[in-house]
Chains A and B, each alone.
Chain A
């Protein structure tokens, strides 16, 4: 029982780890492709990047990290049987996820108003693919957080927090690569 027990020692659900690794591979490959294509047109990419809202995205980073902190705390609280506080923390985490989506939505609406779409420039193709795919995960994550608020078994909360941290982590990598690096 050598490798089987190693897998057994993993905290949380095995399938959630499979999902997390798969997601990180996808986003990782997407960012590598983005940086690869940028090499072919650094000036065009820099120009396109200047249309992004860096402040909004920086604010969103803070929102998502705070939300992740709340999700992590919820598990701690649930483990010492403070169910009410844990549930409040989870709802807070989900609410911040919605705040993230609203700010992201404002950013998308502003791009649309400027007539920018995924076809405007390869930069925007990747911008919409990467951040859009991430936003879809935030939306799913909000649903999962609410689900584990309702079904608040510690194992469930752990799985939900695992997923939510992955969404966090991806954004923390996306933010510098898409918004800051020039």
Chain B
């Protein structure tokens, strides 16, 4: 750790991992309710469990992004974070907001209250005071990191990261705009969710991945930056109008069906480019970095994001297909692998890279961490297949044959059982990951011959070729 203020990331990552545990346990509960429909139906109904599962996912991912920014910006811009105090204040606001959300969802104390009550919109259920708190926290964050970057060295990685984080915060403002017209409500609603995950979050993803590649493979910064710009251009070109694939059936004009189909099909390209980028960098890189776990998560991130977001997204993005598959388990399959691949793995990659440095025990044996990668990933991939098959059967029975929704649900129960099984594996993997980050400390790893040679002769060497 070169800069003292990088330590801020430690607190962010800790809270993020705690919420990660809550998120996957919430997912497990939701999976249980699918097979035992009355389980917890009085205490914690399905809609609340689902809210906790999705909201905590978003919050811990964003906390991870904030932590990643606090970790990598000092190194990139070569100076301390402008104000560590503000950074901790920001975290406190976010934690209080998160606790407020959980209490509001579970106990529903202020039903209908303008300021304190939960707002009904899916994924944007947070009460208004929490939304305002999120905006304040985001402003503090943007002020803090922008001041740091403005005073320090500007690199492509920090520029793109800041662009993504500014976009994230500005687009969240649409959470406050709730028109009475349901079609318009949905139209702006996607500005938050879609323009995040298929727009500005991709910028955050590409820049964090680029930082990891720079550190882990030692490829020239110039080459990394060239890839970064191409990926970002492709992401914004396809992602913004690609939002149209949410506008097929919400009452917007029919031309969205073609705009959405064409542009969202191109969203595969940036994800493919990110996968190619990660593998080409590792292939070209000469650095034998001891943190194999971080490299595994980075490559896993790029690969699973391509399949989850790219391939599984394309699977049902054309409006002719989506007419049948809309809102079936196909969507759930895509949602799970896309979020896991693109954003969960990304966060776990930066945690795996940064935590040993922050805890001052780098390098050390990360076999448990890598085991958790394979456990979580196999569980998640199996879940994706199961939901895809279940969704295909559901699409046929419900949308083609015209059977009743609940009759179809009974018919595909076997898939929900298998999904529960794969969910248990994912939860075990997640807990193993958290354990492997926090607990073991004894076994240190000696650097291999190539890395030893580099450390002895040329510790600052980053060029992989020439």
Interface residues of A (CB under 8 A from B): 1, 4, 7, 14-15, 18-19, 22, 25-26, 29-30, 33, 118-119, 125-126, 128-129
The distance from the CB of A111 to the nearest CB of chain B, in whole angstroms, is 15
Describe B's contact surface by its main secondary structure. Answer: helix
The total of interchain contacts (Cβ-Cβ below 8 angstroms) comes to 47
Compute how far the CA of A4 lies from the CA of B237 in the bound complex, rounded to whole angstroms. Answer: 23
Query: Contact at A30–B262, with CB atoms within 8 Å?
Result: yes
Compute how far the CA of A19 lies from the CA of B230 in the bound complex, rounded to whole angstroms. Answer: 9
A7 proximity list for chain B (CB < 8 A): 226
Which residue in A22, A26, A29, A125 is a CB contact (below 8 Å) of B255? A125
B238 proximity list for chain A (CB < 8 A): 22
Query: Contact at A119–B259, with CB atoms within 8 Å?
Result: no
Compute how far the CA of A143 lies from the CA of B299 in the bound complex, rounded to whole angstroms. Answer: 41
22 A-B pairs with CB atoms under 8 Å apart are A1-B465, A1-B466, A4-B226, A14-B229, A15-B233, A18-B230, A18-B237, A19-B233, A19-B237, A22-B234, A22-B238, A26-B263, A33-B258, A33-B261, A33-B262, A118-B253, A118-B254, A118-B255, A119-B253, A125-B254, A125-B255, A125-B258
B263 proximity list for chain A (CB < 8 A): 26
Compute how far the CA of A29 lies from the CA of B230 in the bound complex, rounded to whole angstroms. Answer: 21
Query: Contact at B258–A129, with CB atoms within 8 Å?
Result: yes
Contact A29 to B226, CB < 8 A, known contacts A22-B237, A129-B255: no
Query: Contact at B223–A4, with CB atoms within 8 Å?
Result: yes
Query: Contact at B234–A30, with CB atoms within 8 Å?
Result: no
Compute how far the CA of A129 lies from the CA of B233 in the bound complex, rounded to whole angstroms. Answer: 23
Query: Contact at B233–A29, with CB atoms within 8 Å?
Result: no
The distance from the CB of A66 to the nearest CB of chain B, in whole angstroms, is 29
Compute how far the CA of A25 lies from the CA of B263 in the bound complex, rounded to whole angstroms. Answer: 9
Compute how far the CA of A29 lies from the CA of B318 in the bound complex, rounded to whole angstroms. Answer: 12
Closest to B223 in A: A4
Compute how far the CA of A119 lies from the CA of B254 in the bound complex, rounded to whole angstroms. Answer: 8
Closest to B222 in A: A4
- Say whether B296 faces chain A, with CB atoms less than 8 Å apart: no
Compute how far the CA of A6 lies from the CA of B213 in the bound complex, rounded to whole angstroms. Answer: 22
Describe A's contact surface by its main secondary structure. Answer: helix
Query: Contact at B226–A14, with CB atoms within 8 Å?
Result: yes
Contact A26 to B229, CB < 8 A, known contacts A118-B255, A125-B254: no
The distance from the CB of B282 to the nearest CB of chain A, in whole angstroms, is 15
Kindly identify, within residues 204 to 248 of chain B, every residue whose CB is under 8 Å from any CB belonging to chain A. Answer: 223, 226, 229-230, 233-234, 237-238
Contact A26 to B465, CB < 8 A, known contacts A18-B234, A125-B258, A128-B255: no
- Say whether B266 faces chain A, with CB atoms less than 8 Å apart: yes
Contact A29 to B262, CB < 8 A, known contacts A7-B226, A18-B230, A125-B255: yes
Closest to A4 in B: B223
- Say whether B366 faces chain A, with CB atoms less than 8 Å apart: no
The distance from the CB of A174 to the nearest CB of chain B, in whole angstroms, is 15
Closest to B280 in A: A3
A126 proximity list for chain B (CB < 8 A): 258
The distance from the CB of B394 to the nearest CB of chain A, in whole angstroms, is 28
Closest to A130 in B: B258
The distance from the CB of B270 to the nearest CB of chain A, in whole angstroms, is 10
- Say whether B90 faces chain A, with CB atoms less than 8 Å apart: no
Query: Contact at B258–A22, with CB atoms within 8 Å?
Result: no
Residue of A19, A29, A119 ringed by the most chain B CB atoms within 10 A: A29
- Say whether B369 faces chain A, with CB atoms less than 8 Å apart: no
Compute how far the CA of A33 lies from the CA of B266 in the bound complex, rounded to whole angstroms. Answer: 15
A33 proximity list for chain B (CB < 8 A): 258, 261-262
Compute how far the CA of A30 lies from the CA of B241 in the bound complex, rounded to whole angstroms. Answer: 14
The distance from the CB of B221 to the nearest CB of chain A, in whole angstroms, is 13
The distance from the CB of A73 to the nearest CB of chain B, in whole angstroms, is 29
Closest to B238 in A: A22
Compute how far the CA of A22 lies from the CA of B269 in the bound complex, rounded to whole angstroms. Answer: 10
- Say whether B265 faces chain A, with CB atoms less than 8 Å apart: yes
B230 proximity list for chain A (CB < 8 A): 14-15, 18
The distance from the CB of B258 to the nearest CB of chain A, in whole angstroms, is 6
- Can you list, as one digit per residue, whether each of B425-466 has a CB less than 8 Å from chain A (1) or not (0)? 000000000000000000000000000000000000000011
Compute how far the CA of A14 lies from the CA of B226 in the bound complex, rounded to whole angstroms. Answer: 9
Residue of A18, A30, A119 ringed by the most chain B CB atoms within 10 A: A18
Compute how far the CA of A22 lies from the CA of B223 in the bound complex, rounded to whole angstroms. Answer: 22
A1 proximity list for chain B (CB < 8 A): 465-466
Which residue in A15, A22, A125, A128 is a CB contact (below 8 Å) of B266? A22
B266 proximity list for chain A (CB < 8 A): 22, 25-26
Contact A29 to B237, CB < 8 A, known contacts A1-B466, A14-B226, A125-B254: no
Q: A18-B230, A19-B237, A118-B254 are in contact. List 14 more A-B contacts (CB 8 A).
A: A1-B465, A4-B223, A14-B230, A18-B233, A19-B233, A22-B234, A22-B237, A22-B269, A25-B266, A29-B265, A30-B258, A118-B253, A128-B255, A129-B258
B254 proximity list for chain A (CB < 8 A): 118-119, 125
Compute how far the CA of A30 lies from the CA of B255 in the bound complex, rounded to whole angstroms. Answer: 12
B465 proximity list for chain A (CB < 8 A): 1
Query: Contact at A26–B262, with CB atoms within 8 Å?
Result: yes
Compute how far the CA of A165 lies from the CA of B226 in the bound complex, rounded to whole angstroms. Answer: 24
Compute how far the CA of A119 lies from the CA of B262 in the bound complex, rounded to whole angstroms. Answer: 19
B233 proximity list for chain A (CB < 8 A): 15, 18-19, 22
Compute how far the CA of A33 lies from the CA of B263 in the bound complex, rounded to whole angstroms. Answer: 13
Kindly identify, within residues 287 to 308 of chain B, every residue whose CB is under 8 Å from any CB belonging to chain A. Answer: none
B229 proximity list for chain A (CB < 8 A): 14-15
Contact A129 to B237, CB < 8 A, known contacts A15-B230, A22-B266, A119-B254: no
The distance from the CB of A101 to the nearest CB of chain B, in whole angstroms, is 21
Compute how far the CA of A106 lies from the CA of B238 in the bound complex, rounded to whole angstroms. Answer: 31
A19 proximity list for chain B (CB < 8 A): 233, 237
The distance from the CB of B398 to the nearest CB of chain A, in whole angstroms, is 26
The distance from the CB of B256 to the nearest CB of chain A, in whole angstroms, is 10
The distance from the CB of A35 to the nearest CB of chain B, in whole angstroms, is 13
